A and B are shown apart, each in its own frame.
Chain A
Amino acid sequence: MASNSSTQLLLKTLLRVNEINQASVAAFQLLISGNSDIWQIISLSFGVSLTAILIATPVALVVSFFLAFFQFPLRRTLISLFNTFMSVPAVIIGLTLYLLLSRSGPLGNLGLLFTSKAMIIGQILLCFPLLVAMAHSSFQAADRRAWETAITLGAKPWRAFFTLMYELRFGLIAAVVAGFGRIIAEIGCSMMVGGNILNATRNIPTAIALETSKGEFAQGIALGIVLLVLSLALNAGVSIFQGRGELQA
């Protein structure tokens, strides 16, 4: 009796595993066959997150440079503010943005709610504090003399700034990758202000949530693979890059 029921349990488990296998095979087929829905979702995800990081990074670099290299009132307060904002949950940013952009909100007549522009704004807000905080600690650890020497040698400030950034490239790139990692996998804010509209605001995380709730695991797994491979590749790339930096130093 006991062995009978355990055999049945085993059989059932095997059936489940088989189901997952089938879904995974279907997932690869979806990816390889160039299923247009899936690739649309993937390209939207990248489009939105890359735009957000491209807009946020230059501003964040300049801000963090000023915070590290110049003395001005409220400097310390600003630094702690950015450090604090790093931990604001995505759903809170989503909620705030929703209320601002809603038709009954102060920015309602811009008509941005449930568009990819709103998603980009949300992701900029999400990654900006992280970029500033990480870049700031890079700038702070930098040798001040590099900057001062460049200036005394007659370099224009922006020229010196680029030289300094080149010296710090490993830390700064790690900051950008961490920022990108935070927003590409983010779901709370995208779901709230994007609305998960097919072919318009549906990105990888919101699509995975939806496919799972529909019980269609193949699509979910396919998108999960893309997200996972991307995150692993990014992190591996950065650590290899940084490793090379250490050797040269």
Chain B
Amino acid sequence: MKTSALFLGLLCLFISVTAYANEPLRLATTTSTENSGLLAKLLPKFTQQTGVLVDVIAVGTGKALQIARNGDADVVIVHARQAENIFVAEGFGVNRRDVMENDFVLVGPANDPAAISGKNSTLKALTKIARTQSTFISRGDHSGTHKKEHALWQHVGINSMGHWHKSIGQGMGKALLMANELSAYTLTDRGTWLAYKDKLSLKILNEGGILLKNPYGIIAVNPALHKDIQYLKAMRLIAWLTSPTGQQQIDQFKKNGQQLFYPTAIKDVITSE
């Protein structure tokens, strides 16, 4: 009886130890990386090479960083440089690396009431939208895209916005659909735009500017803050994504024949190929 109890106890211990060893890495990231299918392509390869399983929590950038602050994630992939810098400066994150980038585009109704198409800079285009009080849909949800939009308006020097600026607090897809319904302008990441453009009568009216770049960073959560952070596994993911193999995988990822993300960790290696 005693021995069987001891055996049972040992078995439990063994199971819990192995379960602990195989505990998945918790990655909090933005919806754009998950919805585009990029992670579904990258992570199985990472798991295959390292044996580390990954659980993905796909939310907005603000929420992803908040989850990491609470110690509910081990590593984050987000796109809001300023918020990332604060996150690291406050000591919540360590070892930030650039991983990849894509870009934002300014879309709007085909008849373009604010006349922003053509050779306008992004800031000029936004100024025109504000001056003509054309309806503009804002994500308003503290996501990376919303933070980008906010920063752009500040660049233009427009801080108080009237009724033409509609803050909807919803995801990118919903924002595009609303812009379509209301014949409004909006700022979107290219990935979501490509996924939705067939359903919309909107057009890209401004793109390619340096201000519309959208860099993604990966940050490990500071293991000193919470006891159960899987720091080593987090660093393995960072190492793999910024390695030639990981960067190549990002470079080769295509959706509907379009490249969505451009590797930035070791650009030279990729371009010299």
Contacts and interface: CB of A to CB of B under 8 A. Distances in A.
A55 B75 CA distance: 53
Interface stretch (B3-11, B162-170, B215-223, B258-266): B162-170
* Tier of interface size on chain A: 10 to 19
A136 interface: no
B178 A215 contact: no
A145 interface: no
Interface in B30-79: 59-60, 62-63, 66-67
B182 interface: yes
B227 interface: yes
Contacts of A102: 181
B142 A103 contact: no
Chain A interface mostly: loop
B178 A114 contact: yes
B167 A198 contact: yes
Contact of B60 (A113, A207, A214): A214
B63 A202 contact: no
A215 B28 CA distance: 14
A189 B176 CA distance: 19
Contacts of A71: none
A206 B167 CA distance: 13
Nearest to B171: A213
A214 B61 CA distance: 9
B181 A202 contact: no
B141 interface: yes
Interface in A188-222: 195-200, 202, 206-207, 210, 213-215
B113 interface: no
Interface string A87-112: 00000000000000011000000000
B171 to A, nearest CB: 9
B24 interface: no
A8 interface: yes
A197 B181 contact: no
A200 B181 contact: no
Contacts of A207: 169
B244 interface: no
B181 A215 contact: no
A200 B163 contact: yes
Nearest to A191: B170
A196 B168 CA distance: 5
Contact of A200 (B66, B142, B166): B166
B9 to A, nearest CB: 13
B167 to A, nearest CB: 4
Contacts of A210: 141, 169-170
Given A114-B181, A114-B182, A197 B66 contact: no
Interface string B122-140: 0000000000000000001
A161 to B, nearest CB: 43
Interface of A: 8, 102-103, 113-114, 195-200, 202, 206-207, 210, 213-215
Interface of B: 59-60, 62-63, 66-67, 140-142, 163, 166-170, 178, 180-183, 227
**Pairs A-B, 8 closest by C-beta atoms:** A215-B66, A210-B169, A198-B167, A197-B166, A214-B142, A196-B169, A215-B63, A103-B181
Given A198-B140, A214-B142, 6 more contacts: A114-B181, A196-B168, A196-B170, A197-B168, A214-B141, A215-B67
6 contacts: A8-B227, A103-B183, A202-B169, A207-B169, A210-B170, A215-B66
